[in-house]
Amino acid sequence: MSGDLTELYQQVILDHNKRPRNRGRLPTATRVAHGDNPTCGDQCSVYVRLDGDRIAEIGFDGAGCAISQASASLMTTQVKGKTAAEVRGLYDAFHHIVTTGEAPAEISDLAAFAGVHAFPARIKCATLGWHAVLNALNGDAVPATTETRAD
Amino acid sequence: MPSVQDLRRDFPALHQQVNGRPLAYLDNAATTQKPRAVIDAIVRFYEQDNSNVHRGLHALSMRATQAYEGARERVARFIGAADAAEVVFTRGTTESINLVARGLGATLKPGDVILATEMEHHSNLLPWQQAARRSGAELRLVPVTGADAEGGLDAAALDALLTPAVKVFAFTHGSNTLGTVNPAAELCARARAVGAVTVLDAAQTVGHGAFDVQRLGADFTAFSGHKMCGPTGIGVLYGRRALLDRLEPDETGGGMVAQAGFTESRWKSAPERHEAGTPHVAGAIGLAAACDYLEAAGREAIAAHDAALARLAYDRLAELPGIRLLGTRGARGGLVSFAFADVHAHDVVTLADEDGIALRGGHHCNQPLMRKLGLASTTRASFYLYNTEEEVERMVASLRRVLKFFGAA
């Protein structure tokens, strides 16, 4: 297994893929958003209960590759308890990590996804869950899609 | 057929390393590699004969026109068309089907039925959805049977669906997702018996064996050059001449008009009627070279070779834990499509690529069928005349490593 591939499928990612955190529909959700990736058929629904501007509870479900599902799982652990503005900041940092491979030390948990940058076709997998949570926070009923040039 | 090793020498792209391993190109249902003869034919055209076709009286234009019309005749022979005028050059299967769907769609009305099947590629489904929407006709689908679509098209349902209200029956000859090959001649005959026009998507079959439009009896047949050793950007709509001449042109402009006036015009007959604008001359010439190449290799032999590799792959893959193999168990085209319970197709493809093996993962432009089968995606290996048994074995060994990596075996 080459270095690039070991970087892509970090232990953290394999672990989240096998044992996803916060998986499942959230009955108390106040916001729901669905993300899909038309090219791959990857799907991710994110359920959020907001307490004021803060994510009190979060759940996700969906189907897709290890990168997309592990990323959504890790995302839920990172955004719980955060405000919408903080989540947007985290997403910007995450996007930087997956597109450049550079990971600032202070967000080490997300750094597991730095290897994605060597596989441009997989960046949209890694960002799927994040697009969904951002849409949920925006109160956006429109399904998130990663099929944009913004990726 | 010449030996596979001899054939492989004709394909420059096959001789490269990917991630430090020799390339095993098993993505032929998406597009095939090109033999030197095809590449050379295109280069020769651009270096020696390049000019616009038709209407030109100078030497290069006459040579280009001759080569372009010669390509039409070559393709007509390749598919057994009675007349070269029945061959319309398009950009590919998608454009061919859209052209015929819009043309036929304009003749439909509420109460009419367009019949397609659940195993259609989006390119033979969405144009008919549009035709139904515009005309008020109803789109109905012949279901596939079996949890893994192993039963093929539902024959009983087809009996019930094929009523005189069916004006068009559009179906695929070989499924790009399942590997299933439909009995096209029989289906065309049954559709004809109720007066339906048949549209055959032959993208996966024309270059993979003997093919005769007259014997199959389809009114229209669509296919792409790039899936049969030809260049991208060129394809064919075959149509029975009387039907092509009646079909309203989809695009209008230069080259397709018999007499143009300021406020109205009259169209030429087929094929020019359906080829507005400057055609892809080099593409047509490349496609003709591909026809020559495949015929020299032996079309029956290619079919037997592809089928043998698919059978080998099917049997070897069946030994892998947690695998679902799609499509008919027996006779199939040169591809296998499969899914693992715990490993997603995109992860499979990424890891196999590490071993130099080019596979495809996804919904294969077959989303509704995937949904019906309860799958998000499958991994597909598709074979062609230059693939070897060793490549099949390498794929299976690589997949075993993938399963181990994800703790699924």
Give the domains, in start order, of chain B with CATH numbers: 4-30+299-405 (3.90.1150.10), 40-295 (3.40.640.10)
Joined together, the tokens standing for residue A86 give 């903080």
Residue B408, min C-alpha distance to chain A (Å) = 10
Q: Is the pLDDT of residue A150 over 60?
A: no
Average pLDDT of the segment spanning B262-278: 96
Joined together, the tokens standing for residue B197 give 């026009």
Residue of A nearest to B398 (CA): A1
Helix orientation angle between A123-137 and A66-79, rounded to the nearest 10 degrees = 40
Would you call B354 and A9 a contact, using CB atoms and an 8 Å cutoff?
no
Q: Is the pLDDT of residue B213 over 60?
A: yes
Average pLDDT of the segment spanning B287-299: 98
Residues of A in Cβ contact (< 8 Å) with B343: 66
Helix extents (H) in B217-298: 241-246, 281-297
Mean model confidence pLDDT for chain B: 96
List the Cα angle B54/B56/B58 in 5-degree steps: 140
Q: Which fold has domain A3-140?
A: Sufe protein. Chain: A (3.90.1010)
Average pLDDT of the segment spanning A2-29: 90
Q: Is the pLDDT of residue A151 over 60?
A: no
**pTM for the whole structure:** 0.93
Amino acid identity of residue B176, one-letter, is N
C-beta of residue B340 within 8 angstroms of C-beta of residue B326: no
C-beta of residue B60 within 8 angstroms of C-beta of residue B278: no
Q: Is the pLDDT of residue B346 over 80?
A: yes
Confidence of residue A117 (pLDDT cuts 50, 70, 90): very high
The reported pLDDT for the residue numbered B58 is: 94
Distance from the Cα of residue A143 to its chain's centroid: 15
Give the single-character DSSP code of B388.
-
Average pLDDT of the segment spanning A12-24: 93
Amino acid identity of residue B4, one-letter, is V
Question: Hey, is the C-beta of A12 within 8 angstroms of any chain B C-beta?
Answer: no
Return d(Cα A69, Cα B375) in angstroms, integer: 16
Average pLDDT of the segment spanning B50-79: 95
The reported pLDDT for the residue numbered A139 is: 81
The reported pLDDT for the residue numbered A78 is: 95
Q: Quick check: bond before B271 cis, omega within 30?
A: yes
Percent of chain B's residues with pLDDT above 90: 94
Residues of A in Cβ contact (< 8 Å) with B19: 2
Percent of chain B's residues with pLDDT above 70: 100
Q: Is the pLDDT of residue B371 over 80?
A: yes
Joined together, the tokens standing for residue A16 give 């989240």
Confidence of residue A5 (pLDDT cuts 50, 70, 90): confident
Confidence of residue B376 (pLDDT cuts 50, 70, 90): confident
pLDDT tens digits, one per residue of B235-255: 999 999 999 999 999 999 999
CA-CA-CA-CA torsion sign (B371, B347, A48, A94): negative
Return d(Cα B25, Cα B20) in angstroms, integer: 14
Amino acid identity of residue B401, one-letter, is R
Q: Is the pLDDT of residue A148 over 50?
A: no
Interface test with A, best of B344, B354, B367 (most A CBs within 10 A): B344
Average pLDDT of the segment spanning B4-28: 97
Joined together, the tokens standing for residue B387 give 């693939």
Q: Which residue has better confidence, A43 or A22?
A: A22
Q: Is the pLDDT of residue B351 over 60?
A: yes
User: Across A126-130, B325-329, B341-345, B373-377, which has the greatest mean pLDDT?
Assistant: A126-130
Cα torsion B99, B103, B106, B108 to 10°: value is: -100
The reported pLDDT for the residue numbered B156 is: 96
Q: Which of A8, A18, A41 sits opposite B363 (nearest CB)?
A: A41
The domain limits of chain A are: 3-140
Would you call B370 and A41 a contact, using CB atoms and an 8 Å cutoff?
yes
- 3 state DSSP class of A49: strand
Where does B57-186 show beta strands of DSSP type E? 87-90, 113-117, 138-142, 144-145, 152-153, 166-172
The reported pLDDT for the residue numbered A104 is: 75
Q: Is the pLDDT of residue A147 over 70?
A: no
The reported pLDDT for the residue numbered A145 is: 61
Residues of A in Cβ contact (< 8 Å) with B362: 39-41
Closest CA to B287 of B89, B95, B98: B89
